[in-house]
């Protein structure tokens, strides 16, 4: 097995590991003062089965190559589908293909990728400054034909950062359960006011209180009706938190995924303890063809057009209630 090369960036407060040969993933995001990596790691870890992995389906290939961490999903999210006669693979191809490193320094790197299924060029610049990770990402239509794609970010958080003392805050007002696979708690397609939801058995559940590893559950839902595009997870015991801020014009939704030692079959076999909040252009997470059939739109790019976004992630200290994240990664407390 060939090791996957890691591109390391550091600031005085953060360390980040990127995987240029595998999707330009952000594999580690470490608070240097405590040594804590806030990102989830899959049970099978980081391995290199080849550019597209092994397995009979695109979902199997994507999952087999999934090390945890933070991916970009383009041009598809969720189930494999056929768009304009071409198969768009599970969660898109951007997170599997090798990216070209065009710039690399101690605290900044720039990477590029040309997709295969659609004529899109992706460019991402990752820069660290103090406790802030700034991700500047663009999609450029390299043709003169209008394109529409899904564009999502897939940051997943796990132990040792994630534990029962963690609290989730977000700039949303609604929660929409997935209509096909809502998990073990919510009724399919049910709608709720954030953060307290009604469970399928009529109980009440506060989604802002994250489960510990001994509280089995599975959740697939969508945070919606955002006043501001942000979320924060705070570990009150460790007095350490992670927050993200993103533009609602491109990512009006966020997928909420929790897998807490619940799934007894492939791929988890009750081995995963993960919570992800994923800024997304499109819902539901069942592939772009299904999203279109249900009235969901993607990101439209005219011929030759580019779309640029900036996402800021910050690791912050303290145990107070977070009320927002401002430009520059400044966390507001209630």
What pLDDT, on the 0 to 100 scale, is given for residue 56?
76
Give, in order, the Cα–Cα distances in Å from 236 to each of 207, 246, 280, 292: 16, 24, 27, 40
What pLDDT, on the 0 to 100 scale, is given for residue 2?
53
Q: What are the residue ranges in the chain where pLDDT is below 70?
A: 1-3, 48-55
* Helix spans in the chain (H): 58-64, 288-293
Tokens of 215: 């509280």
* 121 HSE (CA, 13 A, CB side): 12
What pLDDT, on the 0 to 100 scale, is given for residue 47?
80
Cβ within 8 Å of residue 120, ≥6 positions away: 74, 75, 114, 139, 140, 141, 142, 147, 149, 301
β pairing state of 230-235 and 166-170:
antiparallel
Number of domains making up the chain? 1
Q: What distance in Å separates the CA atoms of residue 63 and residue 57, rounded to the nearest whole number?
A: 10
Q: What distance in Å separates the CA atoms of residue 87 and residue 82, rounded to the nearest whole number?
A: 4
3 state DSSP class of 1: coil
What pLDDT, on the 0 to 100 scale, is given for residue 106?
98
CB 113 within 8 A of CB 100: yes
Whether 1 maps to a domain, the answer reads no
pTM here is 0.97
For the beta carbon of residue 33, count every other beta carbon within 10 angstroms. 13
Tokens of 117: 């299924």
CB 291 within 8 A of CB 282: yes
Whether 185 maps to a domain, the answer reads yes
Tokens of 268: 């988890």
Instruction: Compute φ and ψ for 62, nearest 5 degrees.
Output: -65, -45
**Sign of the torsion formed by the C-alpha atoms of 57, 27, 296 and 93:** negative
What pLDDT, on the 0 to 100 scale, is given for residue 1?
46
Domain of 159, CATH number, reads 2.70.98.10
Whether 153 maps to a domain, the answer reads yes
What pLDDT, on the 0 to 100 scale, is given for residue 298?
97
Q: What distance in Å separates the CA atoms of residue 255 and residue 286, rounded to the nearest whole number?
A: 11
DSSP summary character for residue 230:
E
pLDDT in tens, 240-266: 999 999 999 999 999 999 999 999 999
Instruction: Compute φ and ψ for 179, nearest 5 degrees.
Output: -85, -15
Whether 2 maps to a domain, the answer reads no
Whether 184 maps to a domain, the answer reads yes
Range(s) of the domain holding residue 290: 7-333
* CA nearest to 145, candidates 302, 305, 306: 302
Element (H, E) at 134: strand 132-141
* CA nearest to 80, candidates 71, 92, 72, 67: 92
- For residue 302, whether the previous peptide bond is cis, meaning omega lies within 30 degrees of 0, is no
């Amino acid at each position: 097995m060939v090791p996957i090369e890691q591109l390391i960036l550091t600031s005085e407060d953060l360390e980040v590991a990127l995987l240029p040969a595998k999707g330009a993933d952000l594999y580690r995001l470490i608070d240097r003062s405590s040594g804590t990596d806030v990102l989830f790691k899959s049970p099978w870890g980081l391995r290199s089965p080849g550019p597209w992995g092994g397995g009979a389906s695109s979902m199997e290939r994507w999952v087999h190559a999934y090390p945890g961490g933070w991916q970009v999903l383009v041009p598809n999210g969720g189930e494999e589908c056929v768009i304009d006669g071409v198969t768009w693979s599970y969660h898109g191809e951007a997170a599997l293909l090798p990216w070209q490193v065009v710039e690399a320094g101690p605290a900044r790197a720039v990477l590029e990728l040309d997709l295969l299924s659609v004529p899109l060029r992706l460019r991402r610049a990752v820069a660290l400054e103090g406790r802030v990770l700034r991700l500047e990402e663009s999609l450029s239509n390299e043709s003169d034909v209008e394109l529409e794609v899904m564009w999502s970010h897939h940051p997943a958080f796990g132990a040792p950062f994630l534990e029962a003392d963690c609290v989730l805050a977000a700039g949303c007002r609604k929660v929409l359960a997935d209509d096909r696979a809502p998990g073990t708690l919510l009724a399919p397609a049910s709608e709720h006011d954030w953060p307290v939801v009604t469970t399928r058995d009529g109980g009440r559940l506060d989604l802002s209180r994250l489960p510990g590893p001994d509280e089995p559950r599975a959740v697939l839902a969508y945070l919606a009706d955002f006043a501001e595009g942000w979320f924060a997870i705070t570990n009150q015991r460790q007095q350490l938190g992670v927050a993200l801020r993103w533009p609602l014009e491109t990512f009006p939704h966020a997928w909420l995924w929790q897998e807490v030692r619940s799934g007894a079959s492939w791929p988890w076999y009750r081995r995963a303890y993960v919570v992800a909040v994923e800024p997304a252009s499109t819902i539901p997470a069942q592939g772009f063809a299904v999203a279109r059939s249900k009235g969901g739109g993607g990101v439209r790019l005219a011929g030759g057009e580019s779309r640029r976004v900036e996402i800021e992630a910050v690791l912050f200290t303290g145990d107070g209630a977070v009320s927002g994240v401002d430009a520059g990664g400044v966390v507001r407390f209630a």
